[in-house]
Chains A and B, each alone.
Chain A
């Protein structure tokens, strides 16, 4: 199962954020979403298989109320790693 992050761009077209394996291993998908989704944009983490297959991305629309997993953060950097 490959997970991706979706959010609505300013033009109304959903963007699909694909995490790299290196970032997943180091930080996890939630931290990636908070860092890479633009500030203030609501996002949802879904299985890539749920993405529409029969329509171009420009035709997709996502109800904002379904984007419930978080909001893009202020910083564009990962928080410092804390040693356990």
Chain B
């Protein structure tokens, strides 16, 4: 049979109290029953440890998960709003100094209890209003929204690929992002291949080019060949009155 021991220190005079609530409900403290489990309140450090016998912070929740699949439900820490009010938050607040009110927050906003749709909201302190204001949001369908001078929190549409290359002399690539290669099909005629494809070919390409280093920049163009755009590549031409290699061509893809 398991044993329960409560032992006082003969050299001390303090009182350790476990008090029942002033109600008819029960209060439980359930210690781990698994081998190696820990629930520690450290008198020396003032730290609380769950899953560790040596907590290194005020609350140290430790596990030894080997799960590398994000879609798999974790088992380390769960912040739950047990209510069912749509748009209510399950929230973590941050504060500095002795202020009673938090000055920053991260929260999950439950959009639909039936489907599980949930946004993640980030807030910081609005010193003018004296309250926390929503600054950024990742919606349940993966859109990243933020307010950075827009006046409201709105979806940010990112640059999905970019490249800066020299088309003269066989062409060379100065720098790129999400581009695997640039093919020179002929004079002033290039195909940009993206490393990771987009969902379709209805994206936008913005481009600028410069013909040479002597300031020759009149009537120049970067044009697209829409009929050969795919989800992973697009073809462009540089030139003036005809296709010409330019020393600097810069293109960016948005969607």
Task: Please list the residues of chain A having a beta carbon within 8 angstroms of any beta carbon in chain B.
Answer: 2, 4-5, 9, 13, 15-23, 26-27, 32, 35-36, 48, 51, 53, 56-58, 76-78
Would you call B186 and A57 a contact (CB within 8 A)?
yes
Tell me which residues across on chain B come within 8 A of A57, comparing CB atoms.
Answer: 184, 186-187
Main secondary structure of the interface of A (DSSP, over half): mixed
Query: A22-B195, A76-B197, A77-B197 are contacts. A17–B173 as well, Cβ < 8 Å?
Result: no
Q: How far is the CA of A26 from the CA of B170 in the complex (A)?
A: 23
1/0 per residue B165-186: CB within 8 Å of A?
1000111110011111111111
Would you call A76 and B232 a contact (CB within 8 A)?
yes
Give the interface centre of B179, B193, B196 by most chain A CB atoms within 10 Å.
Answer: B193
Q: Count of B residues near A, CB < 8 Å?
A: 28
Q: Return A5 CB to nearest CB of chain B, in Å.
A: 8
Q: Which of B172, B178, B187, B232 sits near A18, CB closer than 8 Å? A: B172
Any A CB within 8 A of the CB of B236: no
Query: A20-B173, A21-B173, A23-B195 are contacts. A32–B232 as well, Cβ < 8 Å?
Result: no
Would you call A22 and B170 a contact (CB within 8 A)?
no
Q: How far is the CA of A83 from the CA of B191 in the complex (A)?
A: 31
Give the interface centre of A20, A27, A35 by most chain B CB atoms within 10 Å.
Answer: A20
Q: Return B161 CB to nearest CB of chain A, in Å.
A: 10
Q: Which of B170, B179, B186 sits near A13, CB closer than 8 Å? A: B186
1/0 per residue B103-122: CB within 8 Å of A?
00000000000000000000
Would you call B176 and A20 a contact (CB within 8 A)?
yes
Would you call A2 and B179 a contact (CB within 8 A)?
no
Tell me which residues across on chain A come within 8 A of B231, comparing CB atoms.
Answer: 76
Query: A4-B170, A48-B170 are contacts. A19–B181 as well, Cβ < 8 Å?
Result: yes
Any A CB within 8 A of the CB of B139: no
Tell me which residues across on chain B come within 8 A of A56, comparing CB atoms.
Answer: 187
Would you call A22 and B165 a contact (CB within 8 A)?
no
Tell me which residues across on chain B come within 8 A of A19, comparing CB atoms.
Answer: 180-181
Q: How far is the CA of A26 from the CA of B179 in the complex (A)?
A: 12
Would you call A20 and B181 a contact (CB within 8 A)?
yes
1/0 per residue B240-254: CB within 8 Å of A?
000000000000000
Tell me which residues across on chain B come within 8 A of A21, comparing CB atoms.
Answer: 173, 176
Any A CB within 8 A of the CB of B50: no
Task: Give A27's nearest chain B residue, CB to CB.
Answer: B180
Q: Which B residues, 135 to 171, have Cβ-Cβ distances below 8 Å to chain A?
A: 163, 165, 169-171
Would you call B173 and A18 a contact (CB within 8 A)?
yes
Would you call B233 and A18 a contact (CB within 8 A)?
no
Would you call B170 and A76 a contact (CB within 8 A)?
no
Tell me which residues across on chain B come within 8 A of A9, comparing CB atoms.
Answer: 185
